């Protein structure tokens, strides 16, 4: 599946500045349908509501460390629900620990990126997710 810039994408991070940076990078790569959530909990609610409306998110970009619901917990919720099992999910984290990568992969993450990162790195990760 090639990158489709118009796919409905949710950017989840508890830091507004980081959401803005990620959205700007995605826009420069060609994404046009971006929404955001400030934590995993409201993100999960948005994901469920969008599904109910018949307009599901097609891609999730989420930070790992958030106060109410972590990106890992959000990923687990998605992978446990048949409707979201195959939704592409990019995890972003400041933690470069190899054990975290293993945990995320076991939970079903599509790819993983460590902060700080460049737009080129983001594009490479997206290419790996969507050009399998």
In the sheet with 9-12, reading across from the earlier edge strand, the strands are 34-37, 9-12, 59-63, 89-93, 111-114
Domains of the chain: 10-130 (3.40.50.2300)
Whole-model pTM: value is: 0.95
Q: pLDDT tens per residue, the chain (132 residues)? A: 567 889 999 999 999 999 999 999 999 999 999 999 999 999 999 999 999 999 999 999 999 999 999 999 999 999 999 999 999 999 998 877 778 888 999 999 999 999 899 999 999 999 999 986
């Amino acid at each position: 599946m090639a990158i489709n810039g118009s796919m409905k994408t949710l950017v989840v991070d508890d830091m507004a500045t980081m959401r803005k940076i990620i959205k700007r990078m995605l826009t420069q790569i060609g994404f046009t349908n971006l929404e955001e959530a400030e934590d995993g909990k409201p993100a999960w609610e948005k994901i469920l509501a969008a599904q109910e409306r018949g307009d599901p998110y097609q891609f999730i970009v989420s930070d790992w460390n958030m106060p109410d619901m972590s990106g890992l917990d959000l990923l687990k919720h998605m992978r446990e629900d048949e409707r979201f099992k195959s939704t592409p999910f990019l995890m972003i984290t400041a933690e470069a620990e190899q054990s975290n990568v293993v945990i995320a992969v076991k939970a079903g993450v599509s790819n993983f990126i460590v902060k700080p990162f460049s737009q080129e790195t983001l594009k490479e990760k997206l290419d790996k997710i969507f050009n399998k």
